[in-house]
Structure 1
Amino acid sequence: MSHFSIAGLQLELSNQDNFHFIEQEIERVKRVFPWVDMVVLSELSTFGTSTKLAQPMPGPAEQRYCDIAVKNKLWIITGSLFEQAGEHVYNTSSVINPQGEVVTRYRKLFPFYPYEKGVTPGEHCVVFDVPEVGRFGISICYDQWFPEISRSLACMGAEVILCPTLTGTIDRELELAIARTNAVVSQSYFFNINVAGRLGNGRSIVVGPDGQVIHQAGEKNEIIPIEVDLNHVRRVRERGVLGLGQTLKSFRDSQMQFPAYQPQAKQAGALAALGPLKKPGE
């Protein structure tokens, strides 16, 4: 089976406990679009942006999502919640299958420093398999600004990249361009699902592996049900984008050792001269 249906939930949310509303919206999706196989929530949509509401994992919040997955026979990507793990807080997305099992968790590799204070970066790229469908990858919001992540996920076999986001700032227009770029350079579907309402400015976007914008949302509450075709991804990777650039094959075959990725590159030269990572004016 190469077809799989994913609904992005761009919800108008407040910076508080939104769990009951989210549960109602998931149930509405399954009722209105019974063919949907997976729902993807936005970053920090459940409890908002306060690290004081960080949750243990496994824990009661994650278990509630597991119960919702079983009830509605859906894969659920929880967007993200702040995860309390010992002394550390991570920005973590859980991947839950229709049997209510946590298949994997992904910790955001690039917290939005210097604004996302008190959050520890994750250490691993994460992919997971949907049996008899294909391989999916996860990134979270600011991760999309680092093309190394999408390229790494593609090299790990991801054919769909799911990127829950929370953006309410004036750079949303730039992220729309970045989403298209991530899709085409990784030759994968790219789901960038943002929050609406008080927390975010919406404009979620879904892009195909050839860079085509499949849907771009407005700024209000919107359910985005999209059927992906993984055979289309495989065709694009085989023949090239628009029958032209076979990016992943060229990357695979290159012998180039990129200077930016050498251990000394971050600590010397141009990057070292940039100064400390802090808010402008501090």
Structure 2
Amino acid sequence: MKPDSGKVEANQQQAIQMGEQAARDGAHLIVFPELWKTGYHLTKEQFLELAETPAGKTVSLFRELAKKWRTVIVLPFAEKEEDRLYISLAVIENTGELLATYRKSFVWGKEKASFTDGERVYRTIHTSVGNIGVLICYDIEFPEPARLLALQGAELLIVPSVWSFPAESRWDIQLPARALDNTVFLLGVNTVGEGSCGKSKLVAPDGHVLCEAPREETCILLHEIDPSLIGVTRASIPYLADYDQTLLPGGPSREK
């Protein structure tokens, strides 16, 4: 998507149009980028004015659309709780049920002036399209959250983002690296315009990029996922099978 900061109605209409098209094209899972409705380049006061709760109008609308489109939806939004702001997302089942919400746990750079870090707790979410793990943008640059989700059985890591051109090389490195580290699929969904580098991409469990969107154009990126590739990859790259649990904090000691 190409959000226009502060233009919430236009951004929402763009999202609905793209979501409807994706559903018509056969999507069973639809993911929108980070802060797609508000845009990214706003002041704290502007975010406070536009932010909502998980029970607010935006999540409620897309719960109805998930049911109408018969798709699972991962929907980021600016969340307000009293005087605190979070960069959050909702995971909505194709029945319209709100399965989970997640708050970005590592707030990046200038975001710290407006937003608060979410709790650093990572849980795999069971959906009709499989077991997914959700992270937001900067969260994926730390290996531990992705690993914790993979150890809980996540098959697909989903990373809505606003990722900039200066950090483009990291986008191209970190996403395939996290997929390969954990031998899972990974979907990074980025904005275009306003300094974002685009290039939303789906990565296979072996780190191979299966498909990628343009750098500067809006695009519906549609691709099938074959879960059997996880087992095939892990048979030849047994990272998780060989992972030494004694190296985890609190794990059993090597000493005898």
TM-score range with shorter-chain normalisation? Answer: 0.7 to 0.9
Contact 1:13/1:199, CA 8 A, preserved across alignment: no
Q: Aligned residue for 1:36? A: 27
Query: Deviation per CA, 1:226-245, whole angstroms, max 9, x where unpaired?
Result: 111112112322x1xxx2x3
Q: Aligned residue for 1:250? A: 242
Per the alignment, in what secondary structure is the counterpart of residue 228 of structure 1? Answer: coil
Q: Aligned residue for 1:159? A: 155
Q: Aligned residue for 2:224? A: 227
Per the alignment, in what secondary structure is the counterpart of residue 151 of structure 1? Answer: helix
| Residue 12 (structure 1) aligned with residue 2 (structure 2) | yes
Q: 1:176 to 1:129 in 2, by over 3 A?
A: same
Per the alignment, in what secondary structure is the counterpart of residue 124 of structure 2? Answer: strand
| Residue 94 (structure 1) aligned with residue 90 (structure 2) | yes
Query: Deviation per CA, 1:147-198, whole angstroms, max 9, x where unpaired?
Result: 1111111011101000001012311122111101000001100101100123
Q: Aligned residue for 1:3? A: none
Per the alignment, in what secondary structure is the counterpart of residue 99 of structure 1? Answer: coil
By how many angstroms is 1:200 displaced? 2.0
By how many angstroms is 1:91 displaced? 0.8
Residue identity in the other structure for 1:210? D
Q: Aligned residue for 1:276? A: none
Which runs of at least 4 in structure 1 moved beyond 6 Å after TM superposition?
none
For structure 1, the 5+ residue unaligned runs are 1-10, 260-282
How many corresponding residue pairs? 239
Q: 1:62 to 1:112 in 2, by over 3 A?
A: same
Normalising by structure 1, we get a TM-score of 0.80
Normalising by structure 2, we get a TM-score of 0.88
Instruction: Map 1:210-221; keep pairs closer than 5 Å.
Output: 210-219=206-215, 220-221=217-218
Q: 1:14 to 1:114 in 2, by over 3 A?
A: closer
Match of 1:135 among 127, 131, 137: 131
Of structures 1 and 2, the one scoring higher in RCO (CA 8 A, sep 6+) is 1
By how many angstroms is 1:254 displaced? 4.0
Q: 1:256 to 1:198 in 2, by over 3 A?
A: closer
By how many angstroms is 1:258 displaced? 6.5
What CA distance in whole angstroms lies between the structure 2 residues aligned with 1:169 and 1:184? Answer: 24
By how many angstroms is 1:60 displaced? 1.1
By how many angstroms is 1:118 displaced? 2.5
Query: Deviation per CA, 1:120-154, whole angstroms, max 9, x where unpaired?
Result: 111121321124x5311000000011011111110
Contact 2:105/2:117, CA 8 A, preserved across alignment: yes
Identity %: 26
Instruction: Map 1:1-282; keep pairs closer than 5 Å.
Output: 11-16=1-6, 17=8, 18-31=11-24, 33=25, 35-49=26-40, 50=42, 51-52=47-48, 53-78=50-75, 80-123=76-119, 124-131=121-128, 133-198=129-194, 200-219=196-215, 220-237=217-234, 239=235, 243=236, 245-251=237-243, 253-256=244-247
Residue identity in the other structure for 2:69? N
Aligned-residue CA RMSD (Å): 1.7
What CA distance in whole angstroms lies between the structure 2 residues aligned with 1:38 and 1:249? Answer: 29
